[in-house]
Amino acid sequence: MGDIGSFAVQSQELRQEGQEWHTRKQAVQGAHDLADNGVGKGYMFGYLANVAHLGEYHDHFVSAITEAFADGVKTFDYMSAALESAANAYDGVDSTAAESADHLKNRLPR
């Protein structure tokens, strides 16, 4: 993809912002891994798990939030790649530097 012209842009800012999303992606990945430790562990509530369904609620919540974190990781990956791609497009560094829109969209959770 070539240089797409005279946008009011400084690609360095875009790259830096893209890096921020990459860092956030790592944070959400870390959160995902920690939350994943609790998947299926509702039985640890023992008696409390049985009488008030706490184990069941815990397991449903942790499964859902772990899945949400996985989607967050993909979404942040997209944000990072989109900004990086935009920076490349503005710079017109070479014909392959900017990702295609379809390719970028494929990074998003389905």
Partner 1 sequence: MTDITDWDQFAEEVQKRCQDVFDKVWDELNRMANVLNDAASHFDWVGVLFPIPKLIWDGLTSDDVERAIDKFNNEIRPQLEKKAQEVVDDITKVVGTLAGDPPGLKKLSFDYASCREKLVYPTPSIQSEIQQLGKSWKGEAYAAYSLAAGEQVKAMSDAALGMERAADMTNKGAAKILQLWVDLNDKLIGGIVDLAKLLSDATTVDKILSFEIPVVISAIGDLIEFVQAIAKTLEDYWIGVGFQDQLDWIKLNNGATGLAHNTWPVIHPGEVDDISNPHDWGVVA
Residue 94 lies near partner 1 (rule: CB under 8 A): no
Closest CA to 40 of 53, 61, 59, 67: 59
DSSP-assigned letter for residue 10: -
Query: CB 20 → partner 1: shortest distance, Å?
Result: 6
Q: Where are the alpha helices (DSSP H) in the chain?
A: 11-36, 46-52, 54-91, 101-106
Query: CB 39 → partner 1: shortest distance, Å?
Result: 10
- What is the signed CA dihedral for 82, 87, 93, 97, rounded to 10 degrees? -10
CA angle 18–21–25, rounded 5-degree value:
140
Residue 93 lies near partner 1 (rule: CB under 8 A): no
Residue type at 11 in one-letter notation: S
Binders of partner 1 in range 8-47 (CB under 8 A): 8-10, 12-14, 17, 20, 24, 27-28, 30-31, 34-35, 37-38, 41, 43-47
Q: Which residues bind partner 1 (CB under 8 A)?
A: 1, 4-10, 12-14, 17, 20, 24, 27-28, 30-31, 34-35, 37-38, 41, 43-54, 57-58, 60-62, 64-65, 67-69, 71-72, 75-76, 78-79, 82-83, 85-86, 89, 98, 101, 104-105, 108-109
